[in-house]
Amino acid sequence: MSADDTHPLPDALGFKEQPISQLLVKVASRCNIDCSYCYWFRDAAVYDKPKLMSDEVLQQLLLRIEEHVARYSLVDFPIILHGGEPLLWGVENFHRIAEACEGISSRTGCDVPIAVTTNGVLIDDEWLDCFEARNISVAISLDGPEHIHDIHRKTFQGTGTHAAAERAARMLASRDIGMTALAVCNPAYPPKQYVEFFAECGITSYDIMIPDATVDETPASVGSFYNGLFDLWLEANRTKPTADIRIISDMITAMLGNNSPTEGVGYKPIELCTVMTDGSVEAHDVLRIAGDGVTRTKFNIFEHAIDDVRNEPRWKAARDASIQLAAKCQQCKFMNACGGGYLPHRFSKTNGYDNPSVYCDDLYSMFENMQSVLANHLYVSKPDGERLDVRDALAGA
C-alpha cells in the first residue's frame, strides 16, 4: 500500500490492508530475572542489541510516530513498552516518552495511550506515581500462587520472584492505575488455584496464556485446564461480572463471530510492528521462538517510515502466514474462531508456519466445549425475528 492510499484494497483472502495500528517498543533488551520459558532469549540475536534505548533512538521514534498518525489520520495509536524488562529504562524516560506522546496527541488529535509489560520487581512508589500521573496502564507478569510462579520465574541466583511480583501487583491495585496480570498456564496445577489467588489479591483482570512452543516441541496438553477455567469463569460470572479472563473473553468473542482484540485468537492478519532498542524494525517479537535471527530485518526508523515495514519481506511473510492456514485448519469448523492458533505455535523447521498449532487438539476441545455450553445460554436473533442457537448461527457464518 502506498503512503498516499487512503482507500486500502483487500488482499487475496479479502482482508483489507491497513496502516500499522500499534507499536511494540523494546526499550530494554536485557532482563533482571531469569524466566526459564522466556521466548525473548531463545534468539541469541537479542544480545547484539543495545541494552537500553538511547535518547537519539527515542527522539527519532517520536518523530516517526507523529509522522505516521498524521499521515493516516489515526484516531488512536497504542504504544506498548516492552523488554527484556522495560523498567530498566528508568522512570525519567517513562515520563519523557509519555509527555512527548501527550504532545503528539494535542497536535494531531490522535490518542497515543501507553502501556507497559513488566515483571514488577522494580516497582516502588516513584514508579506508581509515574504510572498514575501519566495514565500508563500496566500488565504485570504473575504466574498465580507462589508454588506455581516460582517454578519458572527466578532470579539469576535461583531464588523465586513471587514475593516481589505479588507485592507489586497489590501496590498497583491500590492505586488509580489500569492493571492486568499475565500468567502462563502450568497444566500440572488446577485452574482453581489461579482463580482463587487472583481473587484474593483483588485482581479482576488477568490472562492465563498458553505456554509458547513450536510444532517441533511436545508441550503438555492444556485442553482440560482451559475447559476447567471456562467452567470456573462461567460460574463466577453467572449473576454479575466478577473477573475478566482475557483468553476466555477472546474465545467467546471469536466464537460469536467478532474480532477478538488480541492476536492469539481468531482468523485475521497479524500486523504488529516491533521497534528494537537500536531503532530497527521487526515483525511480531514472539516469532523469535523459531530460533536465532529469524526476525531480523534491514529496516529501521532512521531510514524508513513506520508503515514501510509492510514492504519488508520477513514482515510480509509473517503477516501472510497468519492468514494462509494449513489445509487441516481450512477444513475445521472452528477455523474463523481459532484462526489456526497463535502464529508462533504453528512453526516447524520443516514447513515454516504451514502447520496447525502444536496445540491443535487442545484448541479444538476448548472451542467445542465452549460452543456446547454457550448453546445452552445464548441465541442469535435474525432480522426477521427467527431465533437460532449459537451452533446454527456459527454453522451459517
pLDDT tens-digit readout, 1-28: 334 444 344 555 567 778 999 999 999 9
Q: 130: domain CATH number?
A: 3.20.20.70
| pLDDT tens column, 51-79 | 999 999 999 999 999 999 999 999 999 99
Residue 254 falls inside a structural domain:
yes
Residue 2 falls inside a structural domain:
no
Residue 3 falls inside a structural domain:
no
| pLDDT tens column, 95-145 | 999 999 999 999 999 999 999 999 999 999 999 999 999 999 999 999 999
Distance of alpha carbon 43 from alpha carbon 46, whole angstroms: 6
> What domain range includes position 41?
23-346
Distance of alpha carbon 389 from alpha carbon 124, whole angstroms: 50
Residue 167 falls inside a structural domain:
yes
Distance of alpha carbon 166 from alpha carbon 178, whole angstroms: 16
| pLDDT tens column, 368-392 | 999 998 887 766 666 766 665 555 5
Distance of alpha carbon 346 from alpha carbon 329, whole angstroms: 11
**How many domains are contained in the chain?**
1
Residue 380 falls inside a structural domain:
no
Secondary structure class of 68 (helix, strand, coil) = helix
Residue 289 falls inside a structural domain:
yes
Q: So what's the pLDDT on residue 316?
A: 87
CA-to-CA dists, residue 313 to 46, 68, 244, 296, 318, angstroms: 20, 21, 37, 11, 9
pLDDT band at 165 (very low <50, low <70, confident <90, very high): very high
Residue 357 falls inside a structural domain:
no
Residue 46 falls inside a structural domain:
yes
